Structure 1
């Protein structure tokens, strides 16, 4: 061992502390993955809802523009 390095006493504390830090990091990682999945699902739901609205609008506009029934009566009402 070099003179610049200090010997660390083996008290077992560092090992337990490392395991504790590892568990915290593992839980944090799992939490971040869950949040990312939730946000991804939320964005996908918004995207699908927009697509459904656009499709419904397109179908609605198509039906109205190609309908045989006029929007207003052709002839004036007889009084």
Structure 2
């Protein structure tokens, strides 16, 4: 029974941590959105959309 209770406590702790991390990410995302200028998108902001990510370094042979 003791092992089961430890498992339950650990599981609940992991759920709390995951929820906290989701809240932190949402707060950061909302903060970034609030700092963005309202209105039409600027060309600089659109320059990275639709572009595939390039790797920083070339592949080794």
Structure-2-length-normalised TM-score: 0.60
> Could you tell me which residue of structure 1 aligns to residue 38 of structure 2?
58
The one of 26, 30, 44 aligned to 1:48 = 30
RMSD of aligned alpha carbons: 1.1
The gaps in structure 2 that reach 5 residues or longer are 40-61
Q: Larger C-alpha radius of gyration, 1 or 2? A: 1
Structure-1-length-normalised TM-score: 0.47
Matches within 5 A, 1:1-79: 19-54=1-36, 57-58=37-38
The gaps in structure 1 that reach 5 residues or longer are 1-18, 60-79
Once the two structures are superposed, what CA deviation does each residue of 1:8-42 show, in whole Å capped at 9, x if it has no partner? xxxxxxxxxxx000000000000000000000000
List structure 1 segments (4+ residues) > 2 angstroms apart after TM superposition: none
Count of residues in Structure 1 that have an aligned counterpart in Structure 2: 39
